[in-house]
Chains A and B, each alone.
Chain A
């Protein structure tokens, strides 16, 4: 291959995006909706008013926190599927402080956020220790822990934390105003949480590009055996990466209960962890792309909620668009890989022709 990328190679990353748009459009046409209308409704749903933009940003905060954490674990070669459970445990820990602890104003919220981070970190460490000590792959351990976290939430809502007027199985009673994050302009957005998310991402970026620890994670992710022989303590670094990722995810969960909602709800995360996995995959593990993709996801998903209200289309359209996009990028995003597969298929076809 020539050193200078060809035109096709340069526009290649855009193609899966266009293809995903095409597929979604086809779907809309088949369902009898005007696609232009639908996309316009989606755009307005995301950016149509300042309130909508705040909502996009508010949804972005936990997504970006979790995605930042995942950048660390992916760098170390870990598939931290358990991130969903880590978000949930963060939410539970923050809720515990909000419901059970009364502190002076300046301490209440910091303690809630710290508890959220601790909750997520502990849940992530569990998956980490299962891997390093028990030999359980982090994907399986993580999935199991995700389910346990959901069950734990349901137990708390239906049992010890049920509202005094009786369990509704939907959520705890709303937290006191002093325990909630201050919201911006009557929206669900807490500026403090947005600042924390941006700070977290910047910190992760600094760690990954410029720290000794980030370099050790990179070496572990690329070749754990060599890294070990070069003196990297794999267990410690892997656990640390898990704990840090869990802390960020937990913080995201805390933000969910303390600003997006005002209480612990049944589906408190609602799949933000899995969404964050998709964000990082779609960004190809690249630092710069991660917040952009997270923002895009947040806009599409918020937009499609309005879409449903307006056009009677199910809001799953946003999920379909992002899901198809991730699949297409994973399949076709890597130009050289696609080229190789196509070449091999062409060779096989030629061989079959000459044989037959």
Chain B
């Protein structure tokens, strides 16, 4: 309690952990570590999910800890303002490499330049002529236990690619899952291809309307470890009769292996394939005519060859009028592959920009929370 008073924290010691807010839990955790005699504290995105008031308190205590008590603090953050406000020196990491550092404060654009480099030239791509609206969201809000997504309104045209950018957990995942029917809408209307808004929107309904959803965790949400490629084929095939035609499914799996250049055998268990090959096989299992493809991190962890191949496939789908919405932590990918980019920060759609009219600087700022 003495410790708590020193930093101005107000945590009731008799409260149950479940009943504390995120900010209070964080304060408790800090007190626990300090009471244990910690000298170095590493805080990973400490301001996600806490109130502005608690943030001020946290920052004050961090300053006290560093300046008056000689503790070492390491802050991991995407939010440039916070970094500028609190830190003495910033190290910038990009794609697993240390790419530079700056003494703080320094002008924001210098940090942004280090973080996002120069955007690569946009690959040449067909312009879609279709202007038919595939998906329309009207003031859609979504709630999860950790975050509430404030109302979002947007439209996606046939053949269009919408990239969702933002720090992980800023609300873009909620939106994507709501579109897939995996999370209920807390409010608002969702219309697909002009379907009636009264439609009860859940995942099976979305599937029936030609919506496909590819999650980030391929073996957790998508593929079934312990089943072979042939068994996967038989599973997604429309069942004709009671018994599985194994020869047919096997042949189908073999055909897909050839067309989609999967390294594996029809008898291979899916978990024994590499991530790139698992992703290829997931694409192979997608139905032919789709209205909308929703993807979380479609190329995360894949090599360049698989990444390019995936986007070739998506481009082919696009040209037949399939709309695509995807999330990626890779800003280069978002900028290069999207027609439109929706930037999320702290549970809010900050801005929607045309991909052709933006640059890394702007995107970086938007993601950092400077609307």
A226 adjacent to chain B (CB < 8 Å)? yes
Q: How far is the CB of B259 from chain A (nearest CB, A)?
A: 20
Tell me the nearest residue of chain A to B213, going by C-beta: A229
Chain B: minimal CB distance from A96 (Å)? 32
Rounded to whole Å, the gap between the CB of B272 and the closest CB of chain A is: 14
Query: Could you count the A-B residue pairs with CB atoms below 8 Å apart for me: how many are there?
Result: 63
**Residue in chain B with minimal CB distance to A214:** B244
Separation of A90 and B48 alpha carbons in the complex (Å): 56
Is A223 interfacial (CB-CB < 8 Å)?
Answer: yes
In this assembly, does A225 line the interface, its C-beta being within 8 Å of a C-beta of chain B? Answer: yes
Contact partner of A210 among B203, B207, B246, B285, CB < 8 A? Answer: B246
* Interchain CA distance A312-B3 in the complex, whole Å: 72
CB atoms of B224 and A226 under 8 A apart: yes
Query: Contact check: which of A213, A219, A225, A226 meets B242 at CB < 8 Å?
Result: A213
Query: Is B235 among interface residues, defined by CB-CB distance under 8 A?
Result: yes
Would you call A222 and B226 a contact (CB within 8 A)? yes
Our pick among B222, B231, B239, B243 for the contact of A229 (Cβ within 8 Å) is B222
Give chain A interface residues in 217-264, CB to chain B under 8 Å: 218-219, 222-223, 225-233
> A216-B235, A219-B227 are known contacts. Are A226 and B222 too (CB-CB below 8 A)?
yes
Give min CB distance, B200 to chain A, whole Å: 15
* A212 interfacial by beta-carbon distance below 8 Å: yes
Residue on A with the closest CB to B215? A229
Known: A231-B204, A233-B204. A226 touches B220 (CB 8 A): yes
Instruction: Classify chain B: how many residues form its interface, as a range.
Output: 20 to 34
Instruction: Please tell me if A139 contacts chain B, counting CB pairs below 8 Å.
Output: no
B223 adjacent to chain A (CB < 8 Å)? yes
Contact string against A for B residues 189-232, beta-carbon threshold 8 Å, 1 for contact and 0 otherwise: 00000000000000110010000010100011111111100011
A228-B203, A229-B203, A230-B236 as given contacts; A211 in contact with B224, CB under 8 Å: no
Give the docked Cα–Cα distance between A206 and B244 (Å): 11
What is the CA–CA distance of A232 and B213 in the complex, to the nearest angstrom? Answer: 14
* Docked complex Cα distance between A188 and B226 (Å): 43
Is A126 on the interface with B (CB-CB < 8 A)?
A: no
> Is A191 close to B, CB under 8 A?
no
Distance in Å: Cβ of A230 to nearest Cβ of chain B: 6
Chain B residue contacts of A230, Cβ below 8 A:
222, 224, 232, 235-236, 285
Q: For the complex, what is the distance from the CA of A136 to the CA of B285, rounded to whole Å?
A: 34
Interface membership of A324, Cβ < 8 A: no
- Which residues in A have their C-beta under 8 angstroms from that of B220? 223, 225-226
Which B-chain residue is minimally distant from A206 (CB atoms)? B243
Q: Among B213, B224, B231, B242, find the residue whose CB has the most chain A CB atoms closer than 10 A.
A: B224
A215-B234, A231-B204 in contact; A210/B224 too (CB < 8 A)? Answer: no
Residue on B nearest A225 in the bound complex, by CB: B221
Q: Are A226 and B231 in contact (CB under 8 A)?
A: no
**How near does chain A come to B167, taking the closest CB pair, in angstroms?**
25
Question: Counting chain A CB atoms within 10 Å of each CB, which of B213, B215, B227 scores highest?
Answer: B227
* Residues from chain B with Cβ under 8 Å of A223 in the complex: 219-220, 223-226
Q: Closest approach, in angstroms, between the C-beta of A229 and any C-beta of chain B?
A: 6
| Minimum C-beta distance from A222 to chain B (A) | 4
Report the separation of the CA atoms of residues A201 and B232 in the bound assembly, to the nearest whole angstrom: 26
Q: Taking the nearest CB of chain A, how far is it from the CB of B131, in angstroms?
A: 31
Nearest chain B residue, comparing its CB with the CB of A228: B203
Nearest opposing residue in chain A for B270, CB measure:
A226
Question: Please, which residues of chain B bring their CB within 8 A of the CB of A227?
Answer: 224, 235
Closest to A233 in B: B204
Cβ contact within 8 Å between B235 and A211: no
B3 to chain A, nearest CB (A): 33
- A210 near B244 with CB under 8 A, answer yes
Q: Could you show 9 A-B contacts with beta carbons less than 8 Å apart?
A: A211-B242, A225-B220, A226-B219, A226-B221, A226-B223, A229-B215, A229-B221, A230-B222, A230-B224
Q: With A211-B242, A219-B227 given, name 15 new contacts (CB 8 A).
A: A212-B239, A212-B241, A215-B235, A218-B227, A222-B224, A223-B224, A226-B223, A227-B235, A228-B203, A229-B213, A229-B215, A230-B222, A230-B232, A230-B235, A232-B235
Chain B positions near chain A (C-beta within 8 angstroms) = 203-204, 207, 213, 215, 219-227, 231-232, 234-236, 239, 241-244, 246, 285
